[in-house]
Amino acid sequence: MISTFNLNNTKLVVEEIPFVRSAGIGVYIKVGSRHEKQNISGVSHFIEHMLFKGTEKRTAREIAESFEGMGGQLNAFTSKEYTCLYSRTLDENVDSAIEIMFDMLFSSKFAPKDFTTEKGVVIEEINMYEDTPDDLIHDLFSQKFWEGHSMGLPILGTEDSIINMDRDLVYEYYKKYYVPANMVIAVAGNVNSNKVRDKIQNLLEKQPKNNITINQTIPEENNSFISLMNKETEQVQLCLGVPSISYHNDNRYVQNVMNNILGGGLGSRLFQSIREELGLAYSVYSYPSTYSDTGAFSIYVGTSPSKVAQFFEALIELLDNFTNEGVSEEEVTRTQQLIKSSILLGLESVMNRMTRLARSIMIYDEIVSPEKIIDRIYAIDSEQVNQFAQNLFKKELFSLAAIGDKEILPNVEKQYKQLWRL
């Protein structure tokens, strides 16, 4: 049973799952890196870190030991459009977990000593990320893809923005945006909806009841680009992409089916062609990036410098075939079954259920049932997929980001331009 409540301008959704012994709890704050200005790039992610550094009631150690003492898990993450604090615990410890999480969310101290220490931690996280080129390549692409807009800012911030971050400014940002009216709370597991509601309502009564407005500008579509980053690596990391749709566009279901056929799994055309048949890469895949008002569709590969030209040739041939010959009904049917299985198997996890509920409320302001999603997926045919692919994969719309050795990159650019006939 799923119940929704409006508490102190906060949306709460609870799913009772009586046949499990655990519960997933998530608080989604509707602020992320796209809402930041250049001078405070990374502030949302930095606040995420500071939530774990202690409150008026609990030290950082006490927060960690409280969850370990319950055998629970506590974590958080930041994205471009929201931040999330979440936990998983036994059903008998739900009240305690909620109380600790809300203490962290509303009463974190941001002590100056902890603030300074955490700057070093975040900078090391940035350094670690930059030492992982197969992750960094996606950031390089998005920064250029949305250049000139906050969508292009790195979620972690930059070393300069973290070093120059002012404690009072960050605390003011925290107090402004981490308020009930800017949150969606989801709980899924062996819980009683009314008891969860009463517990959370009691905790929220002490918090400000004001509404909040976040100004969000729609990014303009940039011209195609080639973005190169010099880094000593054995492989060349490549990310090619085109503008695509937001998650409010009904074609998102078509895009998901298309993505699975093109590069979403072991049976996809990209994996079978680039890896299994040609042996050009260990890792190759495609993925959509969908947001509230924009989107991109990307293809990634990590390959040896000597194989870059062969990869470009193979990819062009594959995409030409994909758009000219189209996909078969058999491929669509197989993908529909794959997506259906993924959705239904995901329901066996309380964390997946919690996440699905929260995102559904946050994005669509309603519960979009698994059955409805599956029905939409099964309503798609090969003609819809083919039409979507033809509109998406136009050579003049493609952009390229590449990371590799400085001696290799000029040749990568040259081969790309020649083979793409730019």
Active-site annotation, residues: 48
Which residues pair with residue 29 across a beta bridge? 83, 183
CB contact at 8 A, 101 and 27: yes
3-state secondary structure of 254: helix
Structure tokens at 93: 């410890």
Residue whose tokens read 């055309």: 269
> Residue 85: which H helix or E strand, with range?
strand 83-90
User: CA-CA distances (angstroms) from residue 399 to 231, 286, 323, 393, 407?
Assistant: 20, 14, 18, 11, 21
3-state secondary structure of 189: strand
How far is 355 from 351, CA to CA, in rounded Å? 6
Structure tokens at 182: 């800017």
- Among 204, 214, 175, CA closest to 30: 214
Q: How far is CA 264 from its chain centroid?
A: 16
Longest dimension (CA), the chain: 65
User: CA-CA distances (angstroms) from residue 1 to 18, 21, 194, 314, 343?
Assistant: 10, 16, 12, 49, 18
